[in-house]
């Protein structure tokens, strides 16, 4: 297997999540012909006041409004606190392409070329605008340089079974909080991922590889259901693609199998 013109892969941790970047990197090393290194949280290493403002400008304000962001002082201050203390961040959706541009500008100058594939694990929810239906859609990853992989997006972006949302709402009405994972799994038919799912690291391996593959080949998502390079829109499809054998379709098995 040859990774044309790709000299290295750099994976950045998201320490506030259950995603194990070191395990993902070990898995990648068996599949890509390039050194894979792991670095600490990108937003911590490259965070500054300007980055906080960039996140404020990337905020999605409404599910059906294309325009994003605000530079109100209170919002920028919130983003500064979220950079310093990421445990305090949550419940905000960001324009994934705007975040990608902001982080690309902060890549080390000698690593901005496409011969170094940067993949950043993020503890932020990312979305992209859909021109076809004029609304924002949450995403697990945003391909490009750097490739962004949203850990909360893994739980939130693919659609869960309808009964999941009904059960969650019913439990919230009765107890005022989110039901435990085991309650949801026992009460809802079908497989799905929930916050801090122990399968998170295994599933994210495929999404990280998608980002590396896109930079190495220029290809997008695989059209074959069940391939780890595919992009299912529902949780059962994610489970099938990332946790079931075979790992890859025939074409991509030649490269990564």
pLDDT in the model for residue 63: 95
Cα distances from 125 to residues 62, 143, 149, 204, 205, in angstroms, run: 14, 15, 9, 15, 18
Residues found in the chain: 257
The predicted-structure confidence for 74-95, as pLDDT tens digits, reads as follows 999 999 999 998 887 778 999 9
The predicted-structure confidence for 128-141, as pLDDT tens digits, reads as follows 999 999 999 999 99
* Per-chain mean pLDDT for the chain: 92
**Cα Rg of the chain (Å, integer):** 18
Indicate if the pLDDT at residue 200 is higher than 80.
yes
What pTM, to 2 d.p., does this model score? 0.92
pLDDT in the model for residue 88: 76
Angle between helices 49-58 and 96-104 (to 10 degrees): 160
pLDDT (average), residues 58-70: 95
Beta strands in the chain (DSSP E): 8-12, 36-39, 93-95, 116-122, 125-130, 135-139, 141-142, 147-150
pLDDT in the model for residue 1: 38
pLDDT in the model for residue 248: 98
pLDDT in the model for residue 168: 81
pLDDT in the model for residue 183: 75
Do 132 and 25 contact (CB within 8 A), yes or no? no
pLDDT (average), residues 63-69: 95
Q: Is 215 exposed, middle or buried (0-12, 13-18, 19+ CB in 10 A)?
A: buried
Write down all domains in the chain, each with its CATH number in brackets: 8-158+193-256 (3.40.390.10), 159-191 (no CATH)
d(CA 119, CA 12): 6
pLDDT in the model for residue 4: 46
């Amino acid at each position: 297997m040859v990774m044309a013109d790709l000299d290295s892969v750099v994976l950045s941790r998201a320490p506030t999540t259950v995603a194990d970047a070191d395990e993902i990197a070990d898995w990648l090393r068996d599949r890509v012909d390039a050194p894979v290194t792991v670095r600490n949280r990108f937003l911590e290493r490259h965070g500054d006041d300007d980055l906080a403002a960039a996140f404020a400008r990337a905020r999605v304000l409404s599910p059906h409004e294309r325009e994003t962001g605000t530079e109100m002082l209170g919002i920028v201050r919130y983003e500064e606190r979220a950079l310093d203390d990421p445990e305090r961040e949550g419940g905000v959706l960001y324009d994934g392409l705007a975040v990608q541009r902001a982080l690309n500008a902060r890549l080390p100058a000698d690593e901005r070329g496409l011969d170094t594939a940067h993949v950043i694990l993020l503890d932020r929810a990312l979305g992209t605008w859909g021109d076809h239906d004029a609304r924002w859609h949450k995403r697990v990853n945003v391909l490009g340089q750097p490739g962004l992989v949203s850990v909360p997006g893994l739980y939130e972006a693919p659609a869960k079974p309808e009964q999941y949302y009904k059960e969650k709402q019913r439990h919230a009405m009765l107890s005022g909080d989110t039901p435990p994972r085991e309650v949801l799994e026992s009460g809802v038919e079908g497989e799905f991922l929930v916050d801090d799912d122990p399968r998170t690291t295994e599933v994210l391996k495929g999404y990280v590889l998608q980002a590396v593959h896109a930079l190495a080949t220029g290809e997008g998502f695989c059209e074959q259901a069940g391939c780890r390079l595919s992009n299912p829109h529902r949780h059962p499809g994610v489970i099938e693609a990332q946790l079931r054998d075979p790992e890859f379709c025939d074409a991509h098995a030649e490269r990564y199998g």
